[in-house]
Amino acid sequence: MVLARILFALAVVCALTLFQNRADAGLFNPESFTLDNGMQVVVIPDHRAPVVVHMVWYKVGAADEPPGKSGIAHFLEHLMFKGTDNIPPGEFSKIVAANGGRDNAFTSQDYTAYFQTIARDRLELVMRMESDRMVNLKFGEKDMLTERDVVLSERRQRTDSTPQGQFGEQVQAALYLAHPYGIPIIGWEEEIKALGLQDALDFYGTFYAPNNAILVVAGDITAEELRPLAEKYYGVIPANPAVKQRDLPHEPPHRAARRLSHSDPRVAEASWQRMYVADSANWGDPERMVGLQLLSDILGAGSTSRLSRELVVGQKLAVNAGAWYSGVSRGPGSFGIYATPARDVDLQALESAIDAEIVRIVREGVTETELERAKTGLLADAVYMRDSLFSGARIFGSAMVSGVSVEQIESWPDRVRAATAEDVRKAAEAVFRAERSVTATLTPKEQS
């Protein structure tokens, strides 16, 4: 154990030294340009291997769905693999695999993204295929019915089959008063069942266009090499003048804390969690994002965090405890705290101990030792992320869709270094407001 910790410390020091030596060059050293039709392009050169990650990010997600049509963004993601006049239905992924690559897609509240990891000399192939389905997708009633059943099955497997999945969905819905972030990305079951062919066609025709997309390519290529390919395949697609990213509904002021509790015989052990509406890149004060990230690390990241030291090791009230923060979004961010009580520990006693830690950090702030440890971890993470082509591409895509600029992404390490203990305390003071919270407990049936 001691040797492992020494090796880890040395790795962090080496990584940070590398980062300092390359600080002037930036974090990922991206190159960017915009096509005449409005499509943004970002290139992240990395010539260690003849491989590239090709990603197309559409600035539309579950938060943009029309009322009563929840799940349509994710549903369309499935239909995007049905084919075009040039690619038979179901052949897209087979072609990628036959050329030694892999592909997939994912939907969030803010975006829908499609990607391929492929050899550099096969990049043009996937660009031709991806640009083709941007505007030439073909699907009919039979395709729609088949994929709708697939989505419903996915919802049953991931959400409805577990009490944790069902309850988590309720907690998310309770956190927001009016904002669509309270609606599950996969959609409500009854609304998924009602989705039709025209709903998918309308959503596709409205949002899938080059001027509503970002192309991110990471790997063995430069912007100079990519530009002619981007112009050849994406640049020839006309912009859709009707495209306009939807203004998300306003979230009204929160005036009362919410509490949820549920019991289920399938639950093996009780759990406690609390979520707060938090500042984000586009909601509240974006300048608090660094402080909130450091706060989540100090409060609940790993065995050296406050919650772990106090609740797990010290008071032995919990078997685990932690915190997290999510703030790269078009709407409100969220800050979460969670814990699993130790055997025979009352949930109220656990909650009281967590509240005491929250009060302490708001009143007294954090120590310089805690701050430096958290900074070291975040800066090391920034260095290690450069080892993955996919991580870099995903960071840029998700951040830019949320309105974060390339320059802001590159300056993240500098902003982390500049943060002070008072910044973290002020972030805690701002986020830990009871009226913006939902506290939830999930227990076995006999504890209800």
| The 271-278 sheet, strands edge to edge | 258-264, 437-444, 271-278, 333-341, 318-326
Tokens of 116: 């391929």
- Please give the Cα distance from 227 to 213 (Å, whole number): 16
Strand 437-444 relative to strand 258-264, pairing: parallel
* Residue (of 114, 79, 90, 116) closest to 101 by Cα position: 116
**Contact predicate 435/254, CB 8 Å:** yes
Q: Give the dihedral sign, CA 281/286/287/293.
A: negative
**Contact predicate 74/151, CB 8 Å:** yes
Residue 148 CB: number of other CB atoms within 10 A?
21
Tokens of 12: 């962090």
For residue 212, give the DSSP letter.
G
Q: What is the dihedral of CA 160, 161, 165, 169, to 10 degrees?
A: 10
Residue 355 CB: number of other CB atoms within 10 A?
15
Element (H, E) at 200: helix 197-207
- How far apart, in Å, are the Cα atoms of 161 and each of 71, 153, 157, 191, 221? 18, 10, 5, 18, 44
Which is catalytic among the residues 31, 65, 77, 370? 77
Tokens of 395: 């960071």
HEC readout, 397-423: HHHHHCCCCHHHHHCHHHHHHHCCHHH
Check if 147 is active-site: no
* Residue (of 168, 231, 170, 189) closest to 75 by Cα position: 189
**Contact predicate 298/305, CB 8 Å:** yes
C-alpha triplet 328, 275, 272: angle, nearest 5°: 135
Positions marked catalytic: 77
